[in-house]
Amino acid sequence: MTGETKFSVLVSLFSWIQKTKTAAQKRSKFRKFLETFCKPDDYFSAIRLILPSLDRERGSYGLKESVLATCLIDALGMSRDSEDAVRLINWRKGGAKTGINAGNFALVAAEVLQRRQGMTSGGLTIRELNDLLDRLASSDGRAEKISVLSTMIKKTNAQEMKWVVMIILKDLKLGISEKSIFHEFHPDAEDLFNVTCDLKLVCEKLRDHRQRHKRQDIEVGKAVRPQLAMRVSDPAAAWKKLHGKDVVVECKFDGDRIQIHKNGAEIHYYSRNFLDHSEYAHGMSDLIMQNILVDRCILDGEMLVWDASSNRFAEFGSNQEIAKAARDGLDSERHLCCILPFLPNHLIVPLTCHWLDVTFDILYVGDTSVIHQSLKERHELLKKVVKPLKNRLEILLPNGGLNTHRPPGEPYWSCLAYSMDDVERFFKETIENRDEGIVLKDYGSKWEPGDRSGKWLKLKPEYIRAGSDLDVLIIGGYYGSGRHGGEVAQFLVGLAEQSDSNTYPRRFLSFCRVGTGLTDEELDAVVQKLKPYFRKHEYPKKAPPSFYQVTNNSKERPDVWIESPEKSIILSITSDIRTINSEVFAAPYSLRFPRIDRVRYDKPWYECLDVQSFVELVHSSNGN
């Protein structure tokens, strides 16, 4: 019989897997579920609930924790200021009762649900649950989402609903890897998924565990799981790992991985997570039609944003902004100028930005997959297939590639390395040029879907001091999750607004959010010292104390503010050398990957770095 596997059975499996300690036991529980409790017709329905982040049949729910919290509150018919509602909204904090669950949304939700739902299973089948999840994803308005959630609540008990919440958040915390799930399902499942990124197809084709499946090659129109790079610590380690191989070193471009599938006039743009990003079509598809000289192909590369007014790559993060502009139906070139209104007037430069695709590999040409050929051979094909167009559609080839020269030193974006010195020199140039890092590739290797075993290596500069210490003031705190649940674990730090030299600064501009760098003890010491001055705000969060200037961006809002600057502490922070234009914070620039270097108990609060000095620092390190 079909369509009968109950969700309650899957929930028992989840609880078992979660409780079981060893990987082997977890795997055998899953195998038993497939053999005994799940009908083969239900394999896809079940596995898409077990590996929700790999399911591409359903769109996104648009429900991260904070929105899900308010939707659940309404679905349960609770008042927004009831104790449980506040608990859900402040799930990171926990409270007297939540304590141990703080930082784990599903557990906090389970606590709240337990008081409202019965113990008896709702009897929902996994198919019915999938239908409800489809409705949740396809519903536009909030009201519709609430109505679907309330149906789900009616048809489940608290335990079941807790897992539904985890499925919606796409994180089941089962402690079993995706690899193991695939392996137990079918010995060829991972391979087939890697070349198709299609969970449904995998579940349907591989229903018989004993029947081996002929290795399938990639196809135009089906996303392929991208080959990835293994991290190495320094040029020597990289060189050792690729010992005896022909090596090519390439700049690691800082955009978004993109796989372009062209089939006649049909073009798809698949991201690293195999989502189809149609927003790239605007501005790219015409170029591809004109400059790709074959009817069918798959190209692998990085999508960047080119700023024609300053003749360089636009800042990290611009991809999202320009994509948003394209989605909103605005002309992306012009729109990018006006989506940076947070810059003070003197920093506004007219931007003319557009997509730039840097193709570094080719996987398919005409009717044939070419992933089995060597990188060297694939480069030859790339030359034949792509007619490069300056700053629009570039190809990356050793000792050439990209029509844009790198200033100054090393003129190439890619070169063959014959010694460790070659790698070191190229890497040094990368740091000077402020690129993200380098990727080293075995020139004789084939392209392997989903592989991160070391045929490609990545080397990135670690945190480099931004030229001098950045002494910033803590102005707020964010509650942590997991191990740090219920306690402040990250800080919102600010820069001082310049005051005349005889007075202390009066206002501080939010600058960045920083959480790493301190040991647990050091972090705890800072938190304990500041605790008496935390000003908590229950929902809805109130405006900050008047000393602090912030933006309206909700991503910036801390969970607590420091009552006043003179009560606070200075932190010395370091960062990747690059700064980013800041949309989220009030200061004109923010830092990428900031890290706390040390706590400056020795520095009084008023010796905080001021905005003007910081802007000068940015300009001087950018060579302006």
Instruction: Give me the residues that bind ligand ATP (CB under 6 A), please.
Output: 226, 228-229, 250, 252-253, 257, 272, 302, 360, 396, 439, 458
Nearer to ligand ATP, 44 or 316 (CB): 316
Nearer to ligand ATP, 360 or 364 (CB): 360
Nearer to ligand ATP, 255 or 505 (CB): 255
- Rounded-to-integer distance, Cα 166 and Cα 105, Å: 9
Cα–Cα separations (whole angstroms), residue 264 to 31, 368, 420, 595: 43, 15, 44, 48
Nearer to ligand ATP, 179 or 272 (CB): 272
Quick check: 210 and 40 in contact, CB under 8 A?
no
DSSP conformation letters of 91-151:
TTT--TTTGGGTT-HHHHHHHHHHTTS-SS----BHHHHHHHHHHHHH--SHHHHHHHHHH
Of 369, 197, 190, the residue nearest 274 (C-alpha): 197
Nearer to ligand ATP, 14 or 447 (CB): 447
* Minimal distance, residue 379 CB to ligand ATP, in Å: 12
* Minimal distance, residue 412 CB to ligand ATP, in Å: 12
* Minimal distance, residue 255 CB to ligand ATP, in Å: 7
Of 459, 409, 466, 467, the residue nearest 437 (C-alpha): 459
* Minimal distance, residue 251 CB to ligand ATP, in Å: 6
- Rounded-to-integer distance, Cα 89 and Cα 85, Å: 6
* Minimal distance, residue 523 CB to ligand ATP, in Å: 25
- Rounded-to-integer distance, Cα 12 and Cα 600, Å: 51
* Minimal distance, residue 277 CB to ligand ATP, in Å: 13
Q: Where are the alpha helices (DSSP H) in 356-440?
A: 375-385, 420-432
Quick check: 318 and 247 in contact, CB under 8 A?
no
- How many helices (H) and strands (E) in the chain? 20, 22
Of 67, 89, 93, 68, the residue nearest 80 (C-alpha): 89
Q: Among residues 205, 241, 252, 541, which one is catalytic? A: 252
* Minimal distance, residue 418 CB to ligand ATP, in Å: 19
Nearer to ligand ATP, 463 or 539 (CB): 463
- Rounded-to-integer distance, Cα 378 and Cα 230, Å: 21
Nearer to ligand ATP, 29 or 378 (CB): 378
Active site residue 252: yes
- Rounded-to-integer distance, Cα 454 and Cα 243, Å: 12
- Rounded-to-integer distance, Cα 27 and Cα 50, Å: 13
- Rounded-to-integer distance, Cα 296 and Cα 228, Å: 24
- Active site residue ranges: 252
